[in-house]
């Protein structure tokens, strides 16, 4: 079976699997996460299949983030969220379980839901400079 036929988010976008849809246009669908981190946790998903943030065509990526912004604003205005986490996982080692690009828009209510916990990772100046250089030269 081809990837697009079996992909769970392609199937939701085609209407083959039900969801709590909050927004849809020709390019994007947004719906509540079935296993939410908080009340109103929403996923923004391009209708066209692409594996993750790094492979999504730029115009579509821009549009997905526009929709994510509108959803975050709605969560604050309508749900009473006091904050929002916007994130997208790339690859299994980053926690991506559905290999169809999506943006999590996760409202928080007074308490942090997520956050980058300090790891106490110590990196020496020399290595920080190398890291800076490796990233800079590949952009
Ligand atoms: P990831 O781990 O790939 O960043 O996020 C995938 C998200 O999709 C998870 O939070 C998971 O709960 C959600 N999810 C997986 N399958 C379904 C589904 O069939 N329907 C909905 N609404 N959400 C799903
Ligand atoms: Zn897909």
How many angstroms is it from 121 CA to the middle of ligand 1? 30
> What is the pLDDT, as a whole number, of residue 89?
97
CA-37 nearest atom, ligand 1: 10
> What is the pLDDT, as a whole number, of residue 1?
54
23, 34, 37, best to mutate for ligand 1 pocket (most atoms within 8 Å of CB): 34
Residue 82 tokens read as: 């006091």
pLDDT in tens, the chain (139 residues): 557 789 999 999 999 999 999 999 999 999 999 999 999 999 999 999 999 999 999 999 999 999 999 999 999 999 999 999 999 999 999 999 999 999 999 999 998 888 777 778 898 999 999 999 998 999 9
Is the Cα torsion angle 73, 74, 75, 76 positive or negative in sign?
positive
CA dihedral 9, 10, 13, 18 (to 10 degrees): -60
Which protein residue has the closest C-alpha to ligand 1 atom 24? Answer: 34
Asked about 102 being catalytic, the answer comes back as yes
Give the rounded distance of the alpha carbon of 120 from its chain centre: 26
Residue 72 tokens read as: 């975050």
> What is the pLDDT, as a whole number, of residue 2?
59
CA-8 nearest atom, ligand 1: 19
> What is the pLDDT, as a whole number, of residue 116?
73
Which protein residue has the closest C-alpha to ligand 1 atom 1? Answer: 96
How many angstroms is it from 54 CA to the middle of ligand 1? 19
Is the Cα torsion angle 121, 86, 62, 13 positive or negative in sign?
positive
CA-to-CA separations, 94 to 10, 37, 52, in angstroms, rounded: 21, 17, 11
Quick check: pTM over 0.85? Answer: yes
């Amino acid at each position: 079976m081809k990837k697009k036929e079996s992909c769970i988010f392609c199937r939701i976008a085609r209407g083959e699997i039900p969801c709590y849809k909050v927004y849809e246009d020709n390019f994007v669908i947004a719906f509540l996460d079935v296993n939410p981190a908080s009340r109103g946790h929403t996923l923004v998903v391009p209708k066209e299949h692409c594996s993750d943030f790094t492979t999504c065509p730029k115009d579509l990526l821009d549009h997905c983030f526009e929709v994510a912004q509108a959803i975050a604003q709605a969560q604050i205005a309508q749900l009473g969220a006091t904050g929002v986490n916007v994130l997208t996982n790339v690859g299994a080692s980053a926690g991506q379980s559905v290999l169809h690009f999506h943006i999590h828009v996760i409202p928080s209510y007074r308490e942090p839901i997520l956050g980058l916990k300090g790891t106490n990772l110590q990196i020496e100046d020399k290595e920080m400079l190398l890291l800076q250089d490796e990233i800079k030269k590949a952009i």
